[in-house]
Chain A
Amino acid sequence: MKKLMNFLMLSCKKASALIDKKAETKLSVKENIQLHLHTSMCDACTAYLKQSKMISEALHKHLHDHEDEGTPLINNKDLQDKIISGL
């Protein structure tokens, strides 16, 4: 039993890596069990899981292509003149 537990136990460093790996690709069965076991016992990594997800969502919404979304237009007349004279 102890051997099995050692085999399945992860450090927080490894668990947090698996959390972010899972967001990008599929985990192996072993990795999934390891991660599940770890997060069921570790508050910090459970918080990390939630926050990592939230950061992904925020990045996606924030960086994703919405051309005219809310940002005030910056006027750059110099650039306009530069481009026109370069044509």
Chain B
Amino acid sequence: MEKVMDRTNSTETVKCWVELYSDHLYTWAFRKTSDKETAEDLVQETFLVAFQNFEKFEGKSHPKTWLFSILKNKIADHYRKLFKEGGVQTISFNDFFDENGDWLQEHRPIAWKQDETHLLDDPDFKKALDNCIDRLQNNYKAVVTLRFSQEKESDEVCQELGIAATNYWQLLHRAKLQLRKCLYLNWFRK
């Protein structure tokens, strides 16, 4: 009888959490994945995990904090999967350098004139940055997101992705070449 009581109790509590926090979680997941379906799946899985592990939640942290920590793990899992399934798509150096290793004329970096310190206060810049991240191929997007969205050392991320350190910084390097070009074309040139 007590077990049954517990179960109704946890169902009611989790239902209440869904009403209170699912929009917050969804907004966050959508921002992190830029995909409606993926974000919905991740939030749904988050509540399922919360429901299944309800007895482990002892009220030591705020429920919202606990739910967010589950969601963040789910998002990291999502990007690890994306990376592994991303295959061998490559950003080619030929898009940036000639056969002698010199910058191609049209991609040769020149100093950006804008004041860079307050860029992130500008919602339009954030949008441009989001678009550029979004346009990266999946494996690069995954590495960039895992690298910059969490407080983790390089070797931890390498381990998570199952890649060597050399491979890791080279992926980041190619992603940055691409991001730099995209930001230049869509923002700094204007």
Contact = CB atoms under 8 A, between A and B. Distances in A.
Interface of A: 11-14, 16-17, 20-21, 23-25, 43-45, 47-48, 50-52, 54-56, 58-65, 67-68, 71-76, 79-80, 82-84, 86-87
A71 B18 contact: no
A75 B100 contact: no
B180 to A, nearest CB: 6
A80 B22 contact: yes
Interface residues of B, number: 59
A68 B129 contact: no
Contacts of A43: 110
A17 B165 CA distance: 14
A25 B102 contact: no
A71 B27 contact: yes
Interface of B is mostly: helix
A13 B107 CA distance: 12
Given A47-B109, A47-B110, A55 B180 contact: yes
B120 A73 contact: no
A61 B108 CA distance: 26
A80 B21 CA distance: 9
A44 to B, nearest CB: 5
Contacts of B83: none
Contacts, number: 135
Contact of A79 (B43, B72, B145, B173): B43
Given A23-B169, A62-B148, A87-B11, 11 more contacts: A12-B102, A16-B173, A25-B154, A44-B110, A54-B112, A62-B130, A63-B133, A63-B148, A71-B31, A72-B27, A87-B14
B103 A12 contact: yes
B109 A62 contact: no
B119 interface: yes
A21 B186 CA distance: 26
A80 B101 contact: no
22 contacts: A13-B101, A16-B177, A17-B170, A20-B172, A24-B165, A24-B172, A44-B109, A44-B110, A50-B111, A52-B180, A59-B148, A63-B149, A65-B150, A67-B28, A71-B31, A72-B27, A74-B26, A79-B22, A80-B18, A84-B19, A86-B44, A87-B14
